Structure 1
Amino acid sequence: MTTFNELQEKRRSIYALGKEVKQTDQELFDLVKKSIKNSPSPFNSQSVQAVVLTGDAHEKLWEMTLAELKKVAASEEAFQATTAKIKGAFQSGYGTVLYFTDQNIVQGLKEQAPLYADNFDDWAEESVGIALYAVWLALAEEGVGASLQHYNPLIDQAVKEAFNLPDHWVLRGEMPFGSIEAPADGKTFLPDDARFKQFN
């Protein structure tokens, strides 16, 4: 049985993604739902929302992303390099998980608990981080590779229009996933004494 720390070591940013996953679309959707539902959130607010894209919807997302990037590209050469990255590392995967924060929930918490109002935006970001990490670990456990990208807010409006999503859902990250076609490079670490302290 894999321990938690072994699973953490298995979870890496995988950029060589393919479409040969063994899970069905429904199994992947259920995995994402269960991982997020069991993730903690402040006041059990459940402000993290997710959309799982596979098939044509996955392809559409990355074509839309390229269209938006073309508008802001510094040059044709720069856009070609970006295109190669998108198609080779993200669109080449089987699907994408989109992570959102429901701002209606966050605003409601500010009104219900004004003493903590200044904290709820930060806590919502923590919730997204915990939830997407839970999904990332669950995918790793299933042998599915993934990485985390942030083309928001550039693609926010296009995504909402394309998939008919509520305006109060704010995109916080995109996680392309798929079969692992090549392993990640070795992970390096800063010296422990630069990051950790212990007091007794």
Structure 2
Amino acid sequence: MRPHTLTSAFVSVSRLYTAAAAASSSTCRATHALLPSNLLKTCIPSTTRPLSTSSSLSKLVSPQAETTASKQEIRIPTPSTPVTMAANSATLLESFKARRTYYQLNKELPIPKDKITSIVQENLIQVPSSFNSQSNRVLVLYGAEHDKLWDITSEVLKPLVPAESWDATAGRNAGFKAGAGTVLFFIDTTVISNMQEKFALYKDRFPTWAEHSTAMLQFATWTTLEAEGLGANLQHYNPLIDERVAAEWNIPANWQLTAQLVFGGRAGEPGPKDHLPLEETFKVAGA
């Protein structure tokens, strides 16, 4: 398991791809492991595959401006030069860029529910976990069951929210309920306990590593659903709603709720999204 260091990961893939044609088969398999196969085009043999140069990707890697902060010549990129990337890497990055927060949703799904279910299942299978512990668990709610979740959330929150703030809270919950479904993400704490006993040296790390894995699953699910034309937004009403959710849907006591991904048809556009300058957030050494 690794954090989401997307830029360096995909630049490495591009370099490997252009350096050795024999690596194209493994690159293809790795790419399809991240997204369900029905979301990506069939891999093209490396001898004929065109490499894309996108101006939209130019901000990811560029000429380096050296700094004297370290004898290791740590360098900070300044966006200017486009990067040639393998076709599948570019496709993945375009999907990552297209993933946004859609708060305005409706119940008109652009794809069948069984396809959504299959996409979520495939993400659950493919997302990595530390020591392959497979601690992720998922519940998908559609229709009336989805509506029930957000009714429950309102019931739990109303006694806790100041009266003068309730209208705003109720409006947000109504927006979530207006969607078509919710994916609930859980961590199986029994898996964590078992790994802590088996690998005592890393006992204090397994809870954090499990959080890494559920975060990757949330990101993968969010991205793949939006790649199919859905809108989605990620919420965190746990642990306030945990007890009611467990009782309503017979959730095992060892499943710990971590997030709720609301999805549906797009009834509006996402808001603007700003990024910090790469000069403040990214460094490279040894390149």
Shift of 1:23: 2.1
Gaps of 5+ in 2: 1-40, 42-89
> Is contact 1:103–1:170 with CA below 8 Å preserved after alignment?
yes
How far apart, CA to CA, are the structure 2 residues paired with 1:187 and 1:22? 25
DSSP 3-state at the match of 1:26: helix
How far apart, CA to CA, are the structure 2 residues paired with 1:7 and 1:57? 29
> Is contact 1:110–1:120 with CA below 8 Å preserved after alignment?
yes
How far apart, CA to CA, are the structure 2 residues paired with 1:196 and 1:79? 41
Shift of 1:171: 0.3
1:160 aligns with 2:160: no
Shift of 1:192: 1.0
Q: Kindly, what percent of the aligned residue pairs are identical?
A: 38
Segments of 4+ moved more than 3 angstroms: none
- Residue 137 of structure 1 corresponds to 223
- Which string of whole-angstrom CA distances, capped at 9 and with x for unpartnered residues, describes residues 129-156 of structure 1? 0111111111011011111100000000
Mapping of residues 74-113 of structure 1, within 5 Å: 74-75=162-163, 77-88=164-175, 90-113=176-199
Q: Which has the higher helix share?
A: 1
> Is contact 1:36–1:134 with CA below 8 Å preserved after alignment?
no
1:20 aligns with 2:105: no
Shift of 1:169: 0.2
Shift of 1:24: 2.1
How far apart, CA to CA, are the structure 1 residues paired with 2:242 and 2:272? 33
Larger Rg: 2
Q: 1:124 aligns with which of 207, 210, 214?
A: 210
- Residue 5 of structure 1 corresponds to 93
How far apart, CA to CA, are the structure 2 residues paired with 1:175 and 1:13? 10
RMSD across aligned positions (CA) = 1.1
Shift of 1:29: 1.2
> Is contact 2:104–2:267 with CA below 8 Å preserved after alignment?
yes
1:46 aligns with 2:165: no
DSSP 3-state at the match of 2:187: strand
1:115 aligns with 2:212: no
- Which string of whole-angstrom CA distances, capped at 9 and with x for unpartnered residues, describes residues 19-66 of structure 1? 111322222111101111100111111101000000110000000000
Scaled by the length of structure 2, the TM-score of the pair is 0.67
> Is contact 2:110–2:229 with CA below 8 Å preserved after alignment?
no
